[in-house]
Structure 1
């Protein structure tokens, strides 16, 4: 029996997996192979850079609805629901062409986690470019610890989330600049430097984090009231907010504002 860790560069980021199950080495390797095969398939279908992806073909008018894959249909249906749930702030057309990237990476990792469970892995850690899905434990009786990148220090964390069955998604401006567009104004959102959403589903958490950045300061009450999800927010001027149920290790430099 052995543990397996593996990482590959894809989707324009690093995708990593940690399988902590007491399974034979060959079984763990097969699970990891299936995981990365699935993530590569998602990249082929949903890339906004690969000319032959379904997303690019749909944008060029070359893919009628009758030819949509089940996965494409599922993602577009989910994005439409999230557009309604976020009052239009999660918008896959915010920058013009169809771009479901704010949902797809989290969705791919969430589906991958379910596939791992079905294959016998109930203790694993998936990191899809900073969006994390954990199940079970790294060792008996322990919790997974997930550091959230510090908004200004590239090699540090400003808080650590801990748990055994969690999804953690972060959207912000500290790495790619002001890339999240407010769909109501058409302008890049600039008020929130980091929005982390923690809850049961990584695809939804990923979309909520993107919507929160797009809403800017006006979105703080909406983020704080998300049913079933906890949040941590850092503003561009260095203020911080955390919802009281955030499952964190006491290591944060920020505290929730009084009142």
Structure 2
């Protein structure tokens, strides 16, 4: 009889930061190296909050928005994030933006970028699997155990406590899942073309792809577009799948999403 293969040891941690809870699940790797990388990842998230928070008057982004600093005077990460935001704006035809009411505001990209970066810090420790969940948006690498993929439940906006789908990372070395919608935070997604909360036929958009930085942006942009335009646009993006739920409780999805369900 073949002996069952044991799952690698798990290190889990939850950190309150950036106005949410970021949960880490790391499997395998050299224990001390994993713990050290976890400390660095957590410290990095708090540093991101210090630099990018629009709720802190002394953050570099707040001071940049008031004209007290230039981009060159900020930490290099500020220029990096703004460049990523500009690329997201280009690729979404302006439906994603890092400006709000005429001020620099990279809030829509920072969390996904920061969570992805935190996960990447842990990959280099020899860990066989890494999952970092930032308030429901998840970056995954590797696998949690032998013959077991990472799986992420997508909340059903119409049925609290229920799931609209389960996304599987089977066969993917890296996978990210991000959701934008009104179910938990109300009408908080801004239409860049009007500067007001987006009014569309959607209540939730979940986007799946390799990197959380991008799928988080695409979920936000797609919600602002509305289902008809968003579905065609999401289909045009490489390595991206999506699930859209409308105000009429209709589910629409990209053609390849079925391969990611389970």
* TM-score of the superposed pair, with normalisation by structure 2: 0.89
Q: How does 1:1-259 map to 2 (within 5 A)?
A: 2-24=9-31, 26-163=32-169, 164=172, 165-190=174-199, 191-217=201-227, 218-246=229-257, 247-250=259-262
Q: Which runs of 5+ in 1 are unaligned?
A: 251-259
The CA deviation string for residues 25-45 of structure 1, in whole angstroms up to 9 with x for no partner, is x33322221111111111111
> Does the Cα contact within 8 Å between 2:202 and 2:244 map onto a contact in 1?
yes
- What is the distance in 1 between the residues matched to 2:64 and 2:225? 28
- What is the distance in 2 between the residues matched to 1:54 and 1:22? 35
Q: Which runs of 5+ in 2 are unaligned?
A: 1-7
Superposition RMSD in Å:
1.6
Q: Number of paired residues?
A: 249
* TM-score of the superposed pair, with normalisation by structure 1: 0.90
Report deviation, 1:198: 0.6
Q: Mean alpha-carbon deviation: is it higher for 183-192 or for 53-62?
A: 183-192
Assess, with a 3 A threshold, how the Cα gap between structure 1 residues 249 and 223 changes in structure 2: closer, same or farther.
closer
The secondary structure found in structure 1 opposite 2:69 is coil
> Does the Cα contact within 8 Å between 2:235 and 2:255 map onto a contact in 1?
no
- What is the distance in 2 between the residues matched to 1:2 and 1:185? 50
